[in-house]
Every structure is written in structure tokens, then in C-alpha cells.
């Protein structure tokens, strides 16, 4: 019972943080609607006034972040804007009380920080993949919030271990926890390299052990009928958005990650060879051939898009005009969800297309190594997690057993 109470309280805290992010974003949108500038928002958020070096330093930090929020809103990447607004509020509130989220009160740090955002930047600058940068950023924002909530006890091994234990108590998967541990290890390493943390303490954090265990891949496989219904929803839309979303679904059906779909440029598509060049995780390039309707879907979209250079998939306004602005990964997800709702398909994510792609190919007898290459996995072991054949074999084996239970008569 105590464990259930703890988990309920933890979930309540998570919901409050998500609500805070949504509230921050709503406030940003209200400020934009009333004509506020990024500088005015930064001044409001930091509580800056005309007096004191500390306030001026806060404003110097807050203004670039506020401009980035404004830019994210303009490109309709509201998920990113909400995260930035939330982190800026956390920095402003804590800096007014303690001199920074990880400031001078931290005995384990060898110098003061302007804010936690500066530390996150140190970590993400060394990452090549946009997906990794987003994941590490989310992980460090969560750790920073936990760190502040626990009185900023100092960045050291025992503190990180306590954080890992809380993640276990939350019921997060081993893969998620290990990713967060990796982000904190890199944070400690970068802080030590920049004379912000004792090398001894950084080495201790580097020895924090990962969590053992595994979990089934998230999501589910889509049926052929569900996929057809989503394409039919696109066909029912006579505007360019319908053609674009059909091309988008075709690319997801080929196992692309949503970030890869969003990152495609027109130059990445060789129409004569019906071949796409994909830049995946770790800046690894791979080629994907467009067959069995995928090439036709992309061709129909390009006939409406035009031949100007830039993003392969573009925004379409409510009037049906194609804009010369690309889609963010969040917009790819939203477009897919829109067509799923229209098709009556529930509980679906872009990653479900990727899972279905791998499972369907392996069920059809495709070689595991080939499917791994098509998905951009570093190892076939990763791809094997999507293989449905072992599960089918296990079900068949269990079906050989007989449980001698006799149903009770109805009362």
C-alpha cells in the first residue's frame, strides 16, 4: 500500500510539471498575442529590474532563451517552446532564491553557473543526433527539477544514485533510466572538463551503474486494415494537405523515424532511382528504396509541392496553400494522429509504423541483418526486439499444454 501511495504521489508530481509546461506555453502565446517582444518576456520571466548586477546577468541569460521560444512558436514547434518556457521559469525562480539552479551554494562545483541551461548546452553541443539532443535535454531537465526539489545537495555519486532509485520507484523502464544515467554522466564529464566540477566527483558519477533488465518494445503493430483506412482518410482530403499526409504515411510505413521524416530535403530524393537518402541517428546515412505505392505517393505530393529546394514535406495552411516551411517531428506526429482519428484508428504513434515495418518484413522471411540496415539500427540485436516470430512460437508451444479446468455452471 505504501508503494502504491508513493507511486501515486510521484505521478501527481509529474502531472503537475506537465501542467506547468502547458501553462507556461499558454502564457507565452498570450504575450505574443498582446504584442510582447522576446525581451519583454525575458524581463518578466527573470524578474529583472534596473538595479543590481545579478538581475542584469539574469536578463542577459533570459533574453536569448526567450528569443528561442519565440522562434519555436513561429515554426509551430509548441513542444519545444513549452520545454524552454518551463526551463526558463525554473531558472528564474531558483536564481532569484539561490543564485542559479546549480549555483554558488553547490560545494561540489568549482565555479558559479549563469543557469542550468548553460550546463545543458555543454552536454547537447557534443551530441550529433537531434534526437539524442532532445532526449538528453529532457533527461537533464527532469534531473535538474529533482535536484532543486531536494535542496541542491551537491552533484556527486550518492546524489545520482538517489535519483536513480526514484526513477525505479516511478516504474520507468530500464532503457529510459539508463538513458538518463548516460545524460548525467556526460553532464559530469563536461562540467569537469570545463573546471566546473571536481574530476574526482565526475569520475564517481561515471561509475554509477546502469539498471539491468529489459522491456518489450513500446507500442503495437498496426493491421493492414488500419493502415489502409488512414491512407483512405488522406485520399478523402482534396487539398494539398491530403497528398502531403499520404506521402508522410508512406514514409512512416517504410520504417522511418518521425525525426527522419521531418529532416528529409528534396535533394535527398532521387526520383529516377526512386531512392531516399536518410540521415539517421549518429549522423549515419542509409538508402531506402520506394516501392509498392510509396514512390507514387511521394510523386503526387511533389507535383503539388513544386521543385524549389528545401524540406521534402512542407506546411500547408488552412487555405490549402503550400508554404516553404518544413515540418517539425511534432508536426509529423500531429499529421499522423489527425489521419488516424479520421480513420477511426486509436492508440497509434509514429513508432508503431516502424514496429509494424520490422515485424511485417521479418514475418515475410526477410533477413534480420537486412531489416536492421533498413531501420538504421547499429546492431541486429536491436532489430530482433521487433521480431514477432519468437512470440508466435511461444504461443504455439504454450498451446500444446492442457489445463484441466472445467467451467462452473451458471447460477
Identify the active-site residue in 61, 91, 147, 386: 386
Q: Give yes or no: 157 in active site.
A: no
Asked whether 112 and 119 are in contact (CB, 8 A), the reply is no
Residue whose cell numbers read 508451444: 397
Q: Which residues, listed in sequence order, are joined to residue 279 by a DSSP beta bridge?
A: 285
Q: Give yes or no: 386 in active site.
A: yes
Identify the active-site residue in 45, 137, 244, 377: 377
Identify the active-site residue in 257, 305, 333, 355: 257
What is the widest separation between alpha-carbon atoms in the chain?
A: 83
Dist CA 57 CA 237 (whole Å) = 52
Identify the active-site residue in 17, 281, 286, 338: 281
Identify the active-site residue in 55, 75, 157, 351: 351
Angle value at C-alpha 97, between 93 and 103, nearest 5 degrees: 95
Q: Give yes or no: 377 in active site.
A: yes
Residue 150 neighbours by CB under 8 Å, 6+ apart: 159, 162
Residue whose cell numbers read 521559469: 89
Q: Give yes or no: 354 in active site.
A: yes
Identify the active-site residue in 131, 137, 354, 355: 354
269-270 and 322-326: which strand pairing?
Answer: unpaired
Taken in order 185, 191, 197, 198, is the CA torsion positive or negative? positive
Give 13's Cβ-side CA count (13 Å radius): 13
Dist CA 261 CA 332 (whole Å) = 8
What DSSP element (H or E) covers 242?
helix 240-253
Residue 30 CA, chain-centre distance (Å), reads: 26
The catalytic residues are 257, 281, 351, 354, 377, 386
Amino acid at each position: 500500500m505504501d508503494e502504491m501511495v508513493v507511486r501515486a504521489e510521484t505521478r501527481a508530481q509529474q502531472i503537475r510539471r506537465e501542467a506547468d509546461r502547458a501553462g507556461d506555453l499558454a502564457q507565452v502565446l498570450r504575450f505574443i498575442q498582446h504584442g510582447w517582444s522576446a525581451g519583454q518576456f525575458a524581463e518578466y520571466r527573470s524578474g529583472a529590474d534596473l538595479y543590481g548586477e545579478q538581475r542584469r546577468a539574469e536578463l542577459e541569460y533570459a533574453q536569448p532563451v526567450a528569443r528561442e521560444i519565440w522562434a519555436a512558436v513561429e515554426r509551430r514547434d509548441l513542444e519545444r517552446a513549452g520545454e524552454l518556457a518551463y526551463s526558463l521559469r525554473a531558472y528564474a525562480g531558483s536564481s532569484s532564491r539561490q543564485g542559479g539552479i546549480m549555483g554558488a551554494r553547490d560545494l561540489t562545483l568549482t565555479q558559479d553557473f549563469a543557469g542550468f541551461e548553460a550546463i545543458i548546452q555543454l552536454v547537447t553541443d557534443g551530441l550529433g543526433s537531434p534526437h539524442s539532443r532532445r532526449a538528453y535535454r529532457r533527461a537533464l531537465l527532469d534531473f535538474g527539477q529533482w535536484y532543486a526539489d531536494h535542496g541542491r545537495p551537491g552533484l556527486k555519486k550518492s546524489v545520482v544514485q538517489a535519483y536513480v532509485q526514484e526513477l525505479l520507484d516511478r516504474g520507468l523502464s530500464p532503457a529510459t533510466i539508463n538513458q538518463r544515467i548516460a545524460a548525467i554522466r556526460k553532464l559530469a564529464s563536461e562540467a569537469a572538463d570545463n573546471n566546473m566540477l571536481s574530476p574526482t566527483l565526475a569520475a564517481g558519477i561515471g561509475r554509477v551503474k546502469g539498471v539491468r533488465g529489459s522491456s518489450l518494445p513500446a507500442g503495437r503493430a498496426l493491421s493492414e486494415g488500419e493502415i489502409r483506412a488512414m491512407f483512405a482518410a488522406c485520399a478523402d482530403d482534396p487539398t494539398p494537405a491530403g497528398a502531403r499526409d499520404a506521402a508522410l504515411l508512406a514514409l512512416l510505413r517504410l520504417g522511418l523515424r518521425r525525426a527522419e521524416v521531418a529532416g528529409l530535403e528534396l535533394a535527398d530524393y532521387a526520383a529516377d532511382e526512386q531512392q531516399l537518402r536518410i540521415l539517421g541517428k549518429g549522423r549515419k546515412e542509409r538508402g531506402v528504396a520506394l516501392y509498392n505505392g510509396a514512390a507514387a505517393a511521394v510523386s503526387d505530393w511533389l507535383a503539388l509541392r513544386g521543385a524549389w529546394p528545401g524540406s521534402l514535406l512542407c506546411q500547408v495552411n488552412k487555405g490549402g496553400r503550400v508554404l516553404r516551411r518544413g515540418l517539425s517531428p511534432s508536426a509529423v506526429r500531429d499529421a499522423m494522429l489527425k489521419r488516424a482519428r479520421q480513420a477511426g484508428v486509436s492508440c497509434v504513434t509514429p513508432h508503431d509504423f516502424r514496429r509494424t515495418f520490422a515485424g511485417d518484413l521479418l514475418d515475410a522471411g526477410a533477413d534480420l541483418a537486412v531489416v536492421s540496415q533498413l531501420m538504421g539500427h547499429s546492431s541486429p540485436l536491436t532489430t530482433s526486439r521487433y521480431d514477432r516470430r519468437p512470440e508466435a512460437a511461444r504461443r504455439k508451444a504454450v498451446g500444446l499444454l492442457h489445463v484441466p479446468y472445467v467451467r462452473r455452471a451458471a447460477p
